[in-house]
């Protein structure tokens, strides 16, 4: 069964993603085999449209860990100064 754990490892942020990509909306889209896409979008009410800026594919079970980390960060903003890596072990590379 897949599980999560805190992981202690070096995290590399490549140059092209170092400054991030702006998004002001997101959605969860069902994919095949129990996976989901997390789409990060730029939404414009004026244009009545949203554009996907990044799409990440994750196993559905990982959404729980994401929610927990986001909730903890919102509840305890001071703890976000040193973000933790939450590693997820499951069926890696599943298509």
**What's the confidence (pLDDT) of residue 1?**
42
| pLDDT tens-place string over residues 58-72 | 999 889 888 888 888
**Distance between CA 79 and CA 70 in Å, rounded?**
11
Helix (H, G, I), strand (E, B) or coil at 16: helix
| pLDDT tens-place string over residues 24-73 | 999 999 988 889 999 999 999 999 999 999 999 999 988 988 888 888 88
**What's the confidence (pLDDT) of residue 29?**
92
Helix ranges restricted to H, the chain: 62-75
pTM (predicted TM-score):
0.70
**Distance between CA 47 and CA 8 in Å, rounded?**
44
**Distance between CA 10 and CA 24 in Å, rounded?**
29
């Amino acid at each position: 069964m897949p599980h999560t754990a805190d992981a202690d490892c070096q995290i590399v942020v490549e140059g092209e993603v170092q400054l991030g990509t702006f998004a002001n909306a997101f959605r969860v889209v069902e994919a095949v085999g129990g996976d989901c896409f997390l789409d990060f979008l730029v939404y414009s009410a004026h244009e009545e449209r949203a554009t996907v800026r990044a799409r990440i594919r994750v196993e559905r079970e990982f959404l729980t860990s994401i929610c927990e980390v986001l909730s903890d960060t919102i509840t305890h903003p001071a703890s976000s100064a040193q973000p933790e890596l939450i590693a997820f072990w499951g069926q890696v590379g599943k298509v």
